[in-house]
């Protein structure tokens, strides 16, 4: 299984500290072929793939499963988004972007390494390897 | 995966029981016996030349799926035609049971075709009552087209390959049974060069054109099997760290913290005159240098302290004339050197009874003192 590192959307640190409520906001994983690292906002269908062939613009939802601190370290965990099953071509896309839907903020992304296109019957599964992020 | 031809076989019978046909009879395009593999798709086309309508399902081999409805053409020699298919499992079948005829006078002819790399979904089929298999428009690149034809005639005669179909060995197959009253013809042909648009198989040649016969044909587009890919991405966690610079707590600023352990380091501070050090109840340690309490002109210096024990050290002091030591009610101890009570100023002689002539303590000379002693002794003697 390919593994990708958490890459912060640079500007997200400010809303993370001033606006986003990590534990109660709605979150999604969206697929896009453009890096979101430098983006400050996220618009479904513009900043990710458009709806079609098994993909819904905006991405798939993730439920907050943990948002608390222990010993001075805050740990944030989400459930994995449901996998995408292509009924036609989906993509190309390269990045899985973590989006705070409540504020429309792209927070982080994971890079597949190259663009891929799902053909009919193909699936794409994104899995959080443990927590989403920690802060201390 | 591209579609490939695995093998084919044709045969006939006129039995009223199903006839088992071994797949070892199959031959590939090199005329060799092929080995079936998982997911190979086997087509079986059956023609039963009869005098009745065999009805739905009669010509579908057990465990096979009918590809379209049964085709029945009513004439002197009735054509009952059915194409069925089955996808081979992990252990491919080794035989197929060709359905029985309804009578020993009704011939059965069958064709078996096996393909590899075919999607399990048959893209389309079409039925007609003529031997000219209908046109079809595949929708998937790499599709192959297969045409089957069956005929019921009085005198069997094999089909010949449609003109525009593949001529590769065993791509076209035909068989006929001529020993029955209703003879059956069967034919199968393949087209592998389709790229786009509609494709119309040419008319099956051969057979007979007698008007007592009847025909059926089916055209099937085989969609190439495309292996699906299950992509995965494992996202590792991120980290955020909040750090700050060293902070100075300035005069007048507050530092409020919740319960916990905090360490606050700073420079040594001097507690200067007129500055206050205010603290809530708790335990504090203040270290400082020794302080000197000096007299500064006529300014009164005060040391205010709450109850407790304080130690104030300093140099020796002379209590001079004109200076007061003033203390509020309480207990104080002043420790100093022995003092000599000396005459500083002459006191006026005692006389009269006026209160204004009374001497003050510390203003008597030695004669006065002797007079006083004498008076005291006289009083004591009288007592």
Assign B111 to helix, strand or coil. strand
How confident is the model over B282-303, as a mean pLDDT?
Answer: 59
Out of B232, B237, B241, the one facing A132 most closely (by C-beta) is B237
Among A8, A112, A133, beta carbon nearest to B233: A112
Residue of A nearest to B240 (CA): A135
Compute φ and ψ for B255, nearest 5 degrees: -125, 110
- In a domain? residue A1: no
pLDDT (0 to 100) of residue B352? 44
Residue B26: Cβ-neighbour burial (10 angstroms; 0-12, 13-18, 19+): buried
Using the predicted structure, report yes or no on whether residue B123 has a pLDDT greater than 50: no
Q: What is the pLDDT of residues B70-120, one digit of tens each?
A: 788 888 888 899 989 998 999 999 999 999 999 999 999 999 999 988 865
B314 burial level (CB within 10 Å; 0-12, 13-18, 19+) = exposed
- pLDDT, tens only, A69-105: 999 999 999 999 999 999 999 999 999 999 999 999 9
Using alpha carbons, select from B173, B165, B175 the residue that is nearest to residue B144. Answer: B165
Structural domains of chain A, count:
1
- Determine phi and psi for B137, rounding to 5 degrees: -120, 95
Scan for tokens 């988004």, then name that residue.
A81
Q: How many CB atoms lie within 10 A of CB B306?
A: 5
In a domain, A114, yes or no: yes
**Sheet with strand A3-4: strands edge to edge:** A3-4, B230-235, A123-128, A84-85
In chain B, where are the structural domains located? 4-224
Give CA torsion, residues A16, A20, A26, A32, to 10 deg. Answer: -40
* Residue A37: CA count within 13 A, CB half-sphere: 9
**Lowest-confidence segment of A85-89, B177-181, B289-293 by average pLDDT:** B289-293
What tens digit of pLDDT does each residue of B306-342 get? 666 666 666 666 666 676 666 666 666 666 667 666 6
- How far separated are the first and last CA of chain A, in Å rounded? 29
How many beta-carbon pairs below 8 A join chains A and B?
93
Query: pTM of whole model > 0.80?
Result: no
With a cut of 80, say whether residue B16 has pLDDT above it: yes
Mean predicted confidence (pLDDT) in B29-42: 94
Q: Check whether B285 has a pLDDT greater than 70.
A: no
Q: By the 8 A CB rule, do A74 and A135 touch?
A: yes
Q: Which residues pair with A88 in a beta bridge?
A: none
Omega before A92 cis (within 30°)? yes
Cβ contact (<8 Å) for B236 and A130? yes
Segments of chain A with pLDDT less than 50: none
pLDDT tens-digit readout, B129-162: 446 787 888 878 888 999 988 888 888 788 899 9
Instruction: Please check whether residue A5 touches B, CB under 8 A.
Output: yes
pLDDT tier for residue B354 given thresholds of 50, 70 and 90: very low
Domain with A73, as residue range(s), is 7-135
For residue B368, pLDDT beyond 90: no
Interface contact A2-B233, CB threshold 8 A: yes
Decide if A123 and B228 are in contact by the 8 Å CB cutoff. yes
b vs e for A54-71, b when ≥16 Cβ sit within 10 Å of the residue's Cβ? Answer: bbbbbbbebebeebeeee
Q: Which helix (H) or strand (E) holds B377?
A: helix B366-382
Angstrom distance (rounded) from CA B229 to CA B234: 16
């Amino acid at each position: 299984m390919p593994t990708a590192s958490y890459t912060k959307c640079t500007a997200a640190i400010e809303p993370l500290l001033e606006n986003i409520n990590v534990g109660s906001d709605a979150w999604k994983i969206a697929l896009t072929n453009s890096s979101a690292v430098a983006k400050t906002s996220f618009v479904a269908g513009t900043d990710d793939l458009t709806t079609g062939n098994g993909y819904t613009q905006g991405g798939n939802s993730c439920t907050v499963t943990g948002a608390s601190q222990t010993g001075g370290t805050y740990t944030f965990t989400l459930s994995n988004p449901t996998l995408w099953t292509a009924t036609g071509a989906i993509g190309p896309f390269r990045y899985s972007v973590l989006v705070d839907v409540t504020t429309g903020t792209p927070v982080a992304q994971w890079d597949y390494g190259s663009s891929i296109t799902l053909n009919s019957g193909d699936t794409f599964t994104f899995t959080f390897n443990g927590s989403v992020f920690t802060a201390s | 995966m591209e579609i490939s031809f695995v093998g084919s076989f044709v045969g006939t019978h006129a039995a009223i029981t199903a006839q088992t046909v071994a797949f070892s009879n199959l031959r590939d395009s090199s005329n060799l016996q092929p080995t079936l593999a998982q997911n190979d798709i086997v087509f079986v086309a059956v023609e039963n030349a009869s005098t009745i309508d065999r009805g739905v399902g009669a010509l579908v081999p057990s465990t096979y799926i009918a590809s379209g409805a049964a085709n029945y053409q009513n004439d002197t020699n009735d054509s009952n035609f059915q194409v069925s298919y089955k996808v081979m499992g992990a252990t491919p079948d080794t035989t197929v049971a060709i359905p029985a005829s309804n009578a020993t006078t009704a011939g059965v002819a069958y064709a078996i075709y096996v393909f590899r790399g075919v999607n399990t979904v048959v893209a389309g089929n079409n039925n007609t009552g003529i031997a000219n298999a209908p046109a079809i428009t595949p929708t998937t690149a790499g599709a192959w087209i297969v045409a089957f034809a069956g005929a019921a005639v009085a005198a069997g005669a094999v089909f010949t390959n449609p003109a525009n179909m593949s001529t590769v060995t065993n791509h076209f197959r035909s068989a006929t049974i001529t020993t029955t009253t209703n003879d059956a013809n069967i034919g199968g042909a393949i087209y592998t060069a389709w790229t786009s648009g509609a494709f119309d198989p040419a008319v099956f040649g051969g057979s007979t054109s007698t008007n007592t016969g009847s025909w059926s044909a089916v055209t099937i587009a085989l969609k190439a099997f495309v292996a699906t890919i299950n992509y995965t991405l494992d996202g590792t966690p991120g980290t955020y760290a909040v750090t700050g610079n060293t902070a100075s707590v300035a005069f007048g600023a507050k530092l409020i913290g919740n319960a916990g352990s905090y360490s606050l380091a700073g420079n040594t501070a001097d507690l200067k005159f007129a500055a206050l050090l205010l603290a809530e109840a708790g335990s504090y340690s203040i270290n400082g240098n020794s302080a000197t309490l000096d007299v500064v002109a006529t300014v009164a210096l005060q040391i205010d302290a709450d109850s407790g024990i304080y130690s104030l050290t300093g140099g020796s002091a002379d209590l001079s004339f004109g200076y007061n030591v003033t203390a509020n009610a309480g207990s104080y101890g002043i420790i100093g050197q022995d003092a000599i009570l000396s005459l500083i100023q002459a006191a006026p002689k005692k006389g009269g009874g006026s209160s204004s002539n009374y001497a003050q303590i510390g203003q008597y000379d030695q004669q006065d003192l002797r007079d006083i002693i004498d008076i005291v002794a006289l009083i004591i003697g009288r007592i």
